[in-house]
Chains A and B, each alone.
Chain A
Amino acid sequence: MRGNDKVDAPVFRRPSSLPDKRGYFGEFGGRYVSESLIEALYELETAFRLAWKDKSFHREMEEVYRDYVGRPTPLYCATALSDKVGGARIYLKREDLNHTGAHKINNTVGQALLARRMGKKRLIAETGAGQHGVATATVAARYGFECDVYMGSEDVRRQSLNVFRMNLLGTTVRPVDQGTRTLKDAISEALRDWSQSVMTTHYVLGTAFGPHPFPLMVRSFQSVIGREARKQILAKEGRLPDALVACVGGGSNAMGLFYPFLSDLDCALYGVEAGGRSLNPGEHAARFQTGKVGVLQGSRTYVLQDRDGQIEKTHSVSAGLDYSAVGPELAYYHDTGRIAFSSVGDEEAMEAFEMLCRSEGILPALESAHAIAWTIRLARQLGPSRVVVANLSGRGDKDVMEVARIKGVTFS
């Protein structure tokens, strides 16, 4: 298998030329938020573009990445897993070894440094499982920001440990009792807060989603993953991988890994969505399987919705993939065929979770377990002498209680 099935599909533009001035990747993206926020988005875009061109900003960020976050993260050749699967050589990009346990901190460090340059005093964020909330609370503590994190009350209940962790870091967690009481509602509430506090507050959006310039900004901060992986695989294998795999919630770990490989058309790119219990409405978060183009929370993209345009509920065993819309840049590469998308259900993700635990002694986040599951399928299909890189976007410590619950284990 070389490249992607649909690489010859329409317009493939130079990745760095996107988004365009209006914040669109093809027909996806935009700034679909209320007028009160628009000027703040322009201000943020200007500040980001200036910072991104500024060597001293990068120097500081690299220093923080190295000494505080623990970058570069290893690219690990998972020989035991590869042997067990019996196919291509599987490499894992170890984002789970980052400070706070996931790739999320790459973005929060970047945005915190930016917010400081902009003179903002307060950070707000949304969180689902709590990983992005913890990563935001961490940089808020480190750089002295006041911080509020919005979290659906259902997620607060499921992830009480992460709530306490954020409290320890000095952040106030604000439970959101609206709608489905999950990530989607936390984002709405964060947007509401921001529309009021926009003069003093920076909204640290956690994924490559939302109104422009967030998808651009988050992808840029996360692309350190792919830049490192590219160098590392060239050093280890003397060539680029045949395929790269990442799970897709909003899309930050996927865009982060894929972005530096987009122009390498011989590298197939696979995004893995949450297949949940089934592909029936409300039982999954596979936007590219059953979603249609719409607008949600700032972005025009694929959205799970009913025929009247109301947003559908979602389900996944992993809270980080449990969201009704997907990043606009991924939507664009879906339509151009550059990235192939598939979905992995709860059960298969759980099997992959256990397989990685037992074979490699690595406990992946349930989100990342979706990528591992697809990697296993792909490695078998590709056969030996091929090379696959999977993004191990986070560690699974946060999921231990949930896994125990699913397995019917109770603790006294």
Chain B
Amino acid sequence: MNRKSSKRVFSGKKVIPYLMAGDPDLETTRKLLKAARSEGVWAVELGVPFSDPTADGPVIQEAARRSLAPSTTLRNLLSWLEGVPSDERPPVYLMTYFNLFLSIGLDQFVALAQRAGGIRGAVIPDLSFEDAGFVRRIFHAGGMSLIPFVAPTTSDGRMKRIVARSEDFIYLVSLLGTTGKELSETGTVSRLVSRIRLLTDSPVCVGFGIQSPDVASKVLGVADGVIVGSRLVREETDPDRWQSLLAAFCDAARSAPSLTTAGV
């Protein structure tokens, strides 16, 4: 692997790999975090397995199943992260379903996340903007971000309200459906990004459908970042293959044209 790439700037483009914690074990997760760090990714989305992942397609469902077997709980994971030195992992956004946060208790979650360090926030796919008010307040009080979603079906009125809150980035769902589908054309994404840009300066990262570095590169022509989920999850039991694939996504990001709105 090309280690020299680690400190190179991505022309402001963000690559955020999603990985399922504990798939197939935490030792592998540790290797992947380290690899992601050395590739210089902007952050990782660290998935926590949930028994009933309604927003996920087959690839991530399968990963969750592999990971659930040795019982990777949110609580265990937070204390495990505490033991991973911060120079061996990129900044982390935890990604899982709302019941797991409720089960620990939101205040307790924030306290544990602060203790673990390097956890910037959370991505909660089944927590709608309307239901999230008190969660946002607790997260913000603890210095954490609750990443807002925008989808192709989001109306202008709601989009305005959703992006009005300043968070680390906006998660733009590129296509309808679950994770693991292929984004075939970027016209819709481009229109969505333009609509968001009219309303906010927050970076827009696109997830769902980023199945190849080629797609990533096209999407990064208009957006600030990509979240790569299922395509990488398919390789995550083999850290070397995972890292070389991630490197290809990072190369795509480096060669993407820089945008005036981009920040690192």
Contacts and interface: CB of A to CB of B under 8 A. Distances in A.
Interface string A17-42: 00000100000001111111111100
A192 B99 contact: no
Contact of A32 (B73, B98, B152, B154): B98
Contacts of B173: 34-36
Contacts of B131: 22, 30-32, 300
A188 B178 CA distance: 11
A311 interface: yes
Contacts of B149: 34-35
B158 A192 contact: no
B5 to A, nearest CB: 34
B81 interface: no
Contact of B126 (A33, A179, A192, A199): A33
B178 A192 contact: yes
Contacts of A37: 153
28 contacts: A22-B130, A22-B131, A30-B128, A32-B126, A32-B127, A32-B128, A33-B126, A34-B55, A34-B126, A35-B125, A35-B128, A35-B153, A35-B154, A36-B176, A36-B177, A39-B155, A192-B55, A294-B99, A296-B52, A297-B52, A297-B54, A300-B131, A303-B99, A308-B75, A309-B50, A309-B102, A310-B50, A311-B51
A213 to B, nearest CB: 13
B244 interface: no
A195 B52 contact: no
A381 interface: no
A192 to B, nearest CB: 5
B40 to A, nearest CB: 29
Interface of A: 22, 30-40, 178-179, 184-185, 188, 191-192, 195-199, 293-298, 300, 303, 305, 307-311
A36 B99 contact: no
A36 B151 contact: yes
A297 B130 CA distance: 16
Contacts of A199: 153, 176
Nearest to B126: A32
B102 A294 contact: yes
B51 A196 contact: no
Given A34-B125, A35-B173, A308-B74, A188 B102 contact: no
Interface string B141-172: 00000000111111100100000000000000
- Of B71, B99, B127, the most chain A CB neighbours within 10 A belong to B99
A40 B152 CA distance: 12
Nearest to A192: B178
B139 interface: no
B116 interface: no
A192 B178 CA distance: 6
A197 B153 CA distance: 11
Contacts of A310: 50-51, 68, 73
B264 to A, nearest CB: 26
Given A32-B131, A34-B149, A294-B99, A309 B74 contact: yes
Interface in B85-119: 97-100, 102-104
A47 to B, nearest CB: 15
Contacts of A198: 153, 176
Contacts of B100: 308-309
A322 B231 CA distance: 35
B158 to A, nearest CB: 7
A197 B175 CA distance: 11
B61 to A, nearest CB: 6
B242 interface: no
Given A34-B151, A35-B128, A294-B99, A195 B51 contact: no
B182 to A, nearest CB: 13
| Dominant secondary structure of chain B at its interface with chain A | loop
Contacts of A303: 99
Closest 5 A/B residue pairs (Cβ): A309-B103, A196-B177, A35-B149, A308-B73, A36-B151
A349 B52 CA distance: 29
A294 B54 CA distance: 15
Contact of A295 (B73, B99, B104, B150): B99
B72 to A, nearest CB: 9
B57 interface: yes
- Of B75, B131, B158, the most chain A CB neighbours within 10 A belong to B131
A355 B149 CA distance: 54
A38 B54 contact: no
Contacts of A31: 128, 130-131
A192 B177 contact: yes
Nearest to A310: B51
Interface string B39-81: 0000000000011111101000100000010010111000000
A195 B103 contact: no
A40 B52 contact: no
Contacts of B154: 35, 38-39
Contacts of A30: 128, 130-131
A195 B158 contact: no
A326 to B, nearest CB: 15
Contacts of B68: 310
A185 B99 CA distance: 16
B52 A36 contact: no
Given A34-B173, A310-B51, 16 more contacts: A30-B128, A30-B130, A35-B150, A35-B153, A36-B153, A39-B155, A178-B61, A188-B54, A195-B176, A294-B99, A295-B99, A297-B54, A300-B131, A305-B99, A310-B68, A311-B51
Contacts of A184: 52
Contact of A33 (B51, B54, B155): B54
